[in-house]
Structure 1
Amino acid sequence: MKMESDSDFAGGASPLSFAIAESTAEAVAMVADAVRGRRLRLAYHPVVLAAKPARIGFHEGLMRVLDAQGRVIPAREFMYAVEAHELGREIDCAALAMGLDALARHPQLRLSVNMSARSVGWPRWMKLLQAGLARHPGMGDRLILEISEASVMTVPELLVGMIAELRPKGVSFALDGFGAGAFALRHFRELSFDLLKIDAQYSRGIHTHADNQVLMAAYLAVARQFDMLIVAQGVEQAGEAAWLAQLGVDCLQGYHFAAPKLIPEGLEPCTCPPNALPQVRR
């Protein structure tokens, strides 16, 4: 009986790599179709003050796309497939356009918008941001740009210039998902982030998990040294929230407080404004 080998599948690809490639292609096609149809939304996820959980410090705007059947697809399901390509830049432009629109319509709103470090060098994204800040003086004071740890490590030198340019306009910067990747601590001396968002894995069960307690305390010490506020992500239990607040963490985010909502209380739904995106060519 002939045994199957990796070379017997898809021109040399293994079954696993073939399945991954198929999944990636499907994700790209789904997102491109949603961009063409402007089926893009922001979901708002509150970040609360650890010492006063009833008070919201700011909302994080999380990208969602609606598939052809109208199902809501979170960014974690497709960003892996599009982040390194032009489609990822278009998604970043859409998120920024919707975020700026929401800030303009809701003067009480403070909002963080996710972006890839690769978008720093994309003229269209910067033009959108500069135009929005120029139209609404003072709006930069309510805007936070979140950049993932993995994304930062791709082009840290570009971020130095962007942060220096935008900080005088009031824009704040958050390092998202810290602890999940290979961020070099020396970059804290060059990249002056305002917020340090700790990856959810360190919040899970922290009230009973000694290793997570030590690591979270160390991250808090790093944040204090570099004058950053610290946000613990992925808080899902009351015990976790209480332990983190006692440690001195500034803000908490997670399903223990609320799930992301397309239409949160007091805010209108946010769709992709006209002309926010170029024509998608696929």
Structure 2
Amino acid sequence: MSQTRLHPTPAGDDDFADPLQYAFASRDADTPQLVSRALDRGQAKLAFQPIVMAADPARTAFHEGLIRLLDDAGRVIPAANFMPQVTNTEIGRRIDVLTLDLALRMLRQNPAMRLSVNVSARSLGDWRWRQTLEAGLAERGALGERLIFEISEASAMMLHEVVMHFMQDMQPRGVAFALDGFGGGMTAFRHLKDFFFDMVKVDKTFVKGIAGDPDNQVLVEALVTVAHQFEMFAIVEGVENAQDARWLQGIPVDCMQGYHFGAPRFEIDDLVRVALP
């Protein structure tokens, strides 16, 4: 006698034998619709992760604001389920606009805060994103002096002329820039010296377990040396334990970020502003 399924499985997939697996698979399949609906309704928050001073990890240099989109029940839609697919699309531009708008609101409400947010190089020419930025920079409170844009290595190298021109326009207005994922992609060093990055964030793939990994130690030291040679602040992300943190302090790096110092949270307690070089 054939067995009848209590719940239909997604087309072409017979691996979901229990309702819980099916529920997760169905939700993943609906992710594009969930993302679009969240954007339409403004269902989003920033989660804040501290970037601490390596010389004194008790001091927070600034926070990174990470966008979190919410479904109709208020649950976070996993970014890994959609960000890689939407970065270069219209949805990616809308996410960048919403992220910037939330960041500017946070800076208005917290005059002691310094905040970084991610942006794709493709959004730098988007009229909605630029309009949001210009409106924020025109306000009182020197928002630009407390705003940092993180641009991924791949994005910056793909549209390096666009990024360079934008930096030339923005840095006189106090905006700072961080090269995200430094060393994890295809950085063209002939372009690096022409950029105006204030800081780099060393790719976290080199950091996990670095205290016991001589190969990654050499790579991270080299990347930090390059950053300092170009007069850029060196931040190492993905620090997850005390052993790795202690090793990194001895290079020395300038700042560290990772779950060892704090996970991304919707609420933040410490807003002491540290003056960065």
TM-score by length of 1: 0.84
Do residues 243 (structure 1) and 247 (structure 2) align?
A: yes
Match of 1:213? Answer: 217
Do residues 40 (structure 1) and 44 (structure 2) align?
A: yes
Aligned 8 A contact 1:61 1:112 in 2? yes
Aligned 8 A contact 2:108 2:141 in 1? no
1:264, CA displacement in angstroms?
Answer: 1.7
Cα separation, partners in 2 of 1:74 and 1:233, compared to 1, 3 Å: farther
1:185, CA displacement in angstroms?
Answer: 1.8
Aligned 8 A contact 2:121 2:156 in 1? yes
Aligned 8 A contact 2:38 2:71 in 1? yes
Name the SS of the counterpart of 1:248 in structure 2: coil
Name the SS of the counterpart of 2:170 in structure 1: helix
Amino acid across the alignment from 2:237: Q
| In 2, Cα distance between equivalents of 1:29 and 1:182 | 33
Match of 2:71? Answer: 67
Do residues 175 (structure 1) and 193 (structure 2) align?
A: no
Name the SS of the counterpart of 2:148 in structure 1: strand
Aligned 8 A contact 1:24 1:81 in 2? no
Do residues 51 (structure 1) and 55 (structure 2) align?
A: yes
Name the SS of the counterpart of 1:176 in structure 2: strand
Unaligned runs of 5+ in 1: 1-7, 10-21, 268-282
Do residues 28 (structure 1) and 26 (structure 2) align?
A: no
Match of 2:274? Answer: none
* Alignment length (residue pairs): 248
1:221, CA displacement in angstroms?
Answer: 1.0
| In 2, Cα distance between equivalents of 1:23 and 1:74 | 11
Match of 1:106? Answer: 110
1:126, CA displacement in angstroms?
Answer: 1.0
Aligned 8 A contact 1:104 1:136 in 2? no
Aligned 8 A contact 2:115 2:147 in 1? yes
1:100, CA displacement in angstroms?
Answer: 0.7
1:82, CA displacement in angstroms?
Answer: 1.2
| In 2, Cα distance between equivalents of 1:115 and 1:23 | 27
| In 2, Cα distance between equivalents of 1:252 and 1:227 | 18
Cα separation, partners in 2 of 1:49 and 1:74, compared to 1, 3 Å: farther
- Which of 186, 193, 198 is matched with 2:190 structurally? 186
Deviates more, 1:53-62 or 1:67-76: 67-76
Cα separation, partners in 2 of 1:230 and 1:266, compared to 1, 3 Å: closer
Aligned 8 A contact 2:60 2:270 in 1? no
| In 1, Cα distance between equivalents of 2:151 and 2:113 | 20
TM-score by length of 2: 0.85
Deviates more, 1:96-105 or 1:186-195: 186-195
Unaligned runs of 5+ in 2: 1-11, 14-25, 272-277
- Which of 81, 88, 92 is matched with 1:88 structurally? 92
Match of 1:195? Answer: 199
1:28, CA displacement in angstroms?
Answer: 2.4
| In 1, Cα distance between equivalents of 2:30 and 2:198 | 37
1:263, CA displacement in angstroms?
Answer: 1.4
| In 1, Cα distance between equivalents of 2:270 and 2:250 | 31
